[in-house]
Amino acid sequence: MPAAPIAPATVDVRAIIDRRGVGGLQKLVLLLGFCIIALEGFDLAVMGFIVPVLRQQWHVGSHALGGALSAAQFGLVPGALIAGPLADRFGRKTVVLGSVSVFGVFTLLTSTATSLPMLALLRFVTGIGVGSVVPNTATLISEYVPERLRSLSVSFIICGVAFSSACAGFLAAWIIPAFGWRWLLVIGGLASLLMIPVLFVAMPESVRFLVAKHAPAARIRTIIEKLVPGETTEQSVFVTSLELAGRGETALVVSPAYRFGSVMLWLAYFAALFASNTLSNWLPSFIKESGYGFQAAATVAAFYQLGGVAGALAIGWAMDRRDPHKVPAWAFLASGALFLGLGLAFHSVPLMLLQAFALGFFLIGAICSVNALPTAYYPTQARATGTCWMHAVGRCGALASIFSGAQMLSMGWSADRVFLALIIAPVVAASALLAKRRYAAR
């Protein structure tokens, strides 16, 4: 009597990732993710240090420069809105590679700008590329790490923004006086372009995305064997547990089950980026207006970003062990309190450095960590869309911050008055996160 055929073993990809630690392939993905985010952060940060120089060299006012700078933020919004559904349909790696290529080329071209219209056009196209980098990279990372380490892992790569922004500050303090502002953009553009072949060869596609899209089993098995050698056979069937089915990516994000949580994430990110980008874009100018030199302004801004690196890791670690909504909410409230003291510290550089570091710890740290929330909130087929759309709305807050900063400078507001007004934003962000948590509990 012939033997009965052996049923192929079913391999739950999500369960495999969750029950194991972080292996070699996952560490490589984390490192590459950090590098991608660092390149994006450097590109956005350098413009804040270039602004005071352009005001003097091109003899333009704050409003005109604000309009040119806002072009990149205008590009970020459609970039994020479009890239989310594309990444949920064609893959996270594909979209990330395209995005890095676009912002690398156009950052390099921006170094050749000779007028405000040319600068605005180049920054707009750069922004389209930059818009999808953070959310799609965070999505890919979240699908490779155990859920118990998701917040810390996402925070780790997102703090690449703060790390590279700090590097931009130190480089600006040295390069701009010696070689001019254009060389900052040349460095950022070349670094991005050199990263593309490394990503193409070394970064794998999200294995959970491949399972959800019913990719060939051989392709999935190759990745799983790198994650967990010997776990599969040629007959293995790959699934991922606890996933919804039926709805497309766009419909699911705004469906009744997810709508309120989506709106609260959008509101929190909008308010948080409004406050943070006001400081990132205009803090050097505020400090110079208070009578300090360019190097002091760049150094204080760099300490603000360094505080964000430390805060992102600490808050992300706490979110994996405590309430993932309460931890960043309390951090936002703490940053609001620190705004009160930043303006009062302007009479002393050491006090400014300490205050800026603490503010970065709580404000930037909370922003970095909040990026983990949509990756846990949405299922695989809508994760990139949900994360990208949160970023798109948040970028609108960053866009508003450029115009508000220019308006504050033109009106002659003192630094302490600006910081007092900014207290409202982190309070709104904290309230939105707590409202989302309360709704989910119900």
Strongest mean pLDDT among 150-154, 430-434, 435-439? 430-434
% residues pLDDT > 70 (the chain): 89
Task: With beta carbons less than 8 A apart as the criterion, state whether 146 and 17 touch.
Answer: yes
The reply to whether 354 falls in a domain is yes
What pLDDT does 82 receive? Answer: 87
What pLDDT is recorded for position 343? 63
Q: Is 91 left (phi over 0), alpha (psi -120 to 50) or beta?
A: left
Indicate whether 435 belongs to any domain: yes
- 177 domain-assigned: yes
- State the Cα–Cα distance between residues 77 and 83, nearest whole angstrom: 10
What confidence tier does 271 reach under pLDDT thresholds 50, 70, 90?
A: very high
Judged against a pLDDT cut of 80, whether residue 403 lies above it is answered with no
Q: pLDDT band at residue 88, thresholds of 50, 70 and 90?
A: confident
**pLDDT-derived band at 43, boundaries 50, 70, 90:** confident
Token digits for 409?
């400078």
Alpha carbon distance 302, 402 (integer Å)? 19
Q: What is the pTM of this model?
A: 0.80
pLDDT exceeds cutoff 90 at 6: no
The answer to the question of residue 162 being in a domain is: yes
Of all helices (H) and strands (E), which one includes residue 331? Answer: helix 326-342
10 Å CB burial of residue 319 (0-12, 13-18, 19+) is buried
Query: Would residue 2 count as lying in a domain?
Result: no
pLDDT digits (tens, 9 = 90+) for 158-172: 878 777 877 877 788
Higher pLDDT residue, 6 or 36? Answer: 36
pLDDT value of residue 246 = 45
CATH number of the CATH domain containing 342: 1.20.1250.20
Percent of the chain predicted with pLDDT > 90: 19
Give the range of the structural domain holding residue 117, as residue numbers without chain letter.
Answer: 10-441
209 within some domain:
yes
4 found inside a domain: no
Looking at the structure of the chain, the number of domains it has is 1
Q: How many CB atoms lie within 10 A of CB 182?
A: 15
Is the pLDDT higher at 286 or at 189?
Answer: 189
Q: How far is CA 338 from the centre of its chain?
A: 23
- Residue 330 belongs to some domain of the structure: yes
